[in-house]
Amino acid sequence: MSKAVYPGTFDPVTYGHLDVIRRGAQLFDSLVVSVAGSSVKSALFSVEERVTMMKLLTADLPNVTVASFDGLVIQHVRDLDSRIILRGIRTVGDFEYELQMALTNRNLDHSIETIFVMSSEKYSFVRSSTIKEAVRLGGDVVDMVPPLVADALKKKLRK
């Protein structure tokens, strides 16, 4: 059984992340989408909110489960009895950041491999921080995030 872990902040989850999840679900027997706790970045949504949104948006994928973690990602991957980290690359701009993360993780644990999938070019410009800025300033983000995420963003950012 191949099991991969897709870690991320997912603050919030976008169509780009969901594209990576769908590709991963087809490649591995099981895929755990792991939401990083607030120690990683200061997040707009709590871990519980991000996990809930992720569960709702992946409910149609039977081999995908959602978890959360704090601390080192490699320890979390080991705890799940996996050896594979899945990440998406959108553009060449992502490459350096992803390379650094993958090599750091490899140095911390040589038995864990990072596997990349190319995200759909349709979402190559999508990133969580610009989506939050757009919503805060009154923009419509329906093409970038699912409706439940767009609604949650409006509630948080347009109080």
Q: Does 126 bind ligand COA (CB under 6 A)?
A: yes
Side-chain half-sphere CA neighbours of 153 within 13 A: 27
Of 131, 127, 138, 136, nearest to 156 by C-alpha is: 136
Residue position matching structure tokens 């950041």:
97
* Pairing verdict, β 64-69 and 3-8: unpaired
Q: Does 24 bind ligand COA (CB under 6 A)?
A: no
Binding mask 39-78 toward ligand COA (x if CB under 6 A, else -) reads -xx------------------------------xx-----
- Catalytic positions: 17, 41, 90, 128
Q: Which residues bind ligand COA (CB under 6 A)?
A: 7-11, 14, 16-17, 20, 36, 40-41, 72-73, 88, 90, 101, 104-105, 119, 123, 126-129
